[in-house]
Each structure stands twice: as structure tokens, then as C-alpha cells.
Amino acid sequence: MNGSEIMLDAVNGIAPDLVDEAAGYRFKRNGTNALAWAAAACLMLGVGAAMAAALLNGAETPGNETAQGIDTAKKTEQILPQPTEEQKVMYNSSDEFISGSVLNKGDLIISEALRKAMAEETDTNCLFAVKILASACEKSEAYIENMNDRLFSDPVYMQFMREFEQWEPTYELTETERRLEEKGVSRVDIAMDRFKEIWKSEKSEELAARLEELEAQMDDWRENLTGLREYLEVCRAEELARLIGLGYPIETNEFGQWCSKLTADQINAFPADPGWGYKILWASDGEGFV
């Protein structure tokens, strides 16, 4: 057996408890990065900014509420009308899931289960314990586009891309690179890495340094969406304050989700901002609704 065969056999002989551990393990999905990659993919293609924005802000992210927002909600809660003792409150820990709830600008979705319960309830004063997903679609789109323009429209980057587009079709992958491609790395990514090396070695130090600087900024943007999350937190705090101001007693639970007890009339007349997307569905105790 050669060295690599020995290595493979050696890996096959690792302790059984490690094999067992791996079989039953569920990875913690890298949510931020997954969203960032989804957004970056949309941005790089120059399409789907709305989708990226919805992805970034549509699904609730635990803890993405600002202290300011929470404070506003808590303070306002004290002056908002609270349910009277006679008022019936309906809870329903139904199996509704928020995952996959990608909201688009202008959406105001009331979940089927909630809609059905509202239709069946004859007491018009009855309160429904709900959670509200809200996505600042228009604002996040604008932010992403602005960032996109700033980074990808830089003259140095545009020069690099023009030259890359001419060079890429002529490039033949090496054997090692072909293996990488077979493992799922895209040809464009592989070729771009190669071209960057060539480009930096051929251009002036100043241009090479500028490209490196831009790359670092782009990586940071893709990885961390620098600034976007903070910006959206401010938007959400403002929107929360607006809704509370309109008489919607919304609280923020420990997961940063918006929860409320609303009548069917309030739900049906929800004062949506046209630049946002919303989904109203049952809140469940498991998500911290009290």
C-alpha cells in the first residue's frame, strides 16, 4: 500500500465513538454566512437584490432587535391599552414555522391557521396571540444596491473585471484546478483566483494594492454584511415605534421577535408600510411569547 492508501485506512480505523458522534451530529448552520452568500450571489449576478434583501431581513433573527427598540416597546407598553380581564385571549402553539418566510415588499400575509381561527371566532373582542415577521425590503434593497455600486463600480475593480472577462475563456484549468472544480468549486472562482495573481504581478504596485483593498472590503461585505444589520436594526426599531404609536401593543420577546395580542379587526386592518413585507402568524409558547 502506498502512503495515501495507508492514510485512508488509518482514517477508517479511528475510534468508533467519533464515527458515532459524526453520524448523529447536526451542524449549526452558519446563518449569517449563508445569508451573506445568498445575498452576495444575487449581488454578483446583478439581479435579485429584492430576494437578497428579503432573505436578510424576512426571517426573524434572534436577538436582532436593538436596545432602543426594546426600550421603546417596553416603555410604550405601559401606556397602551392592555387586555381586560373579560377579554378572551386565544393561543395556539400550532406547527407553523417561520423558516422559508421570505417576504417581499408590499406583502401582508396572514397565515392560513390564523385566518381560519379568526373566521371561526364569533367574539369580536377576542385577542389572538400572534407574532409579526417584518422585513424592511425597500430599505435593505437600497442599502445593498448602494453598497454594491460603491464596491463593484470602483474603476480599478471594473478594469480588473473587464480584463478578466476577456482572459477567462482562454484559460485552461490545471489538473489540480480541475479536481477542485469536480469538488464543487466553480470554474469562474478558480480562474479568478489565478487571474488575480497574474494581474497583480503585471500591474503597478498602486493598482495591485487598490485591488487588494477592494477585495478585503468585498470579503468583509460578503462575510459580515458590514453595516447592513445595524442599519436594519435601526429601521426595525423605527417601524416598531410607528406600529406601537398606531395602537398596536407589540412586545419583543427574548428572541427579538415581535409578539402581540390583537383582535381580528386589528389584524385585518394592519397598517402596513408599503416598503415593507409582513407576515402575521400564531405565536407559540416555545418561542418565548408570554
Partner 1 sequence: MTDEEILALFNTRDERAILETEAKYGALLRRIARNVLKNDGDAEEAVSDALLALWQSIPPEKPESLRAYAAGAVKRRALSLCRKKMALKRASSRLELTDELDECIPARADAESGLEAAELSAAITAWLRTLDKEDRVLFVRRYWYGDPVKELARETGSAPQRLAKRLFRLRSGLKKHLEKEGYSI
CB of 220 to partner 1, least distance (A): 15
Task: Choose between 4 and 204: whose C-beta lies nearer to partner 1.
Answer: 4
Whether residue 226 contacts residue 143, with contact meaning beta carbons closer than 8 Å, is answered with no
- Residues that bind partner 1 (rule: CB under 8 A) add up to a total of 40
Closer to partner 1 by Cβ: residue 1 or 67? 1
Contacts of 51 (CB under 8 A, 6+ apart): 38, 42, 102
Looking at the Cβ atoms of 212 and 223, the one nearer to partner 1 is 223
Question: Residue 260 forms beta bridges with which residues?
Answer: 130, 250
Using CB under 8 A as the binding rule, the residues of this chain from 208 to 237 that contact partner 1 are none
**How near is the Cβ of 246 to partner 1 at its closest, in Å?**
37
Of residues 3 and 46, the one with the C-beta less far from partner 1: 3
Measured from the CB of residue 30, what is the shortest distance to partner 1 in angstroms? 4
Paired strand residues for 161: none
Distance between CA 274 and CA 118 in Å, rounded? 24
Nearer to partner 1, 23 or 119 (CB): 23
Interacting residues with partner 1 between 160 and 179 (CB under 8 A): 179
Minimum CB separation of residue 191 from partner 1 in Å reads: 12
Q: Where are the alpha helices (DSSP H) in 62-174?
A: 67-79, 112-120, 137-152, 155-167
C-beta closer to partner 1: residue 59 or 259:
59
Residues 178-207 binding partner 1 (CB under 8 A) are 179-180, 182-186, 189
Strands annotated E in the chain: 89-90, 108-110, 127-135, 250-252, 258-263, 277-282
Q: Mention every residue, 6+ apart, whose C-beta is less than 8 A from residue 28.
A: none
Contacts to partner 1 from residues 9-28, by CB under 8 A: 9-28
Question: Is 31 near partner 1 (CB under 8 A)?
Answer: yes
From 7-15, 110-118, 152-160, 280-288, span contacting partner 1 (CB under 8 A): 7-15
Smallest separation (angstroms) from partner 1 to the CB of 202: 25
Our CB check for partner 1 shows the closer of 3 and 100 to be: 3
Question: Distance from first CA to last CA of the chain, Å, rounded?
Answer: 64
Nearest to 211 by CA among 222, 221, 202, 199: 199
**Minimal distance in Å, beta carbon 33 to partner 1?**
6
Q: 170: which DSSP letter? A: G
- Cβ burial of 108 (10 Å; 0-12, 13-18, 19+) is middle
- Residue from 71, 147, 136, 70 nearest 104 by CA: 136
* Least Cβ distance, residue 231 to partner 1 (angstroms): 23
Which residues in this chain contact partner 1 in the complex, by CB under 8 A? 3-31, 33-34, 37, 179-180, 182-186, 189
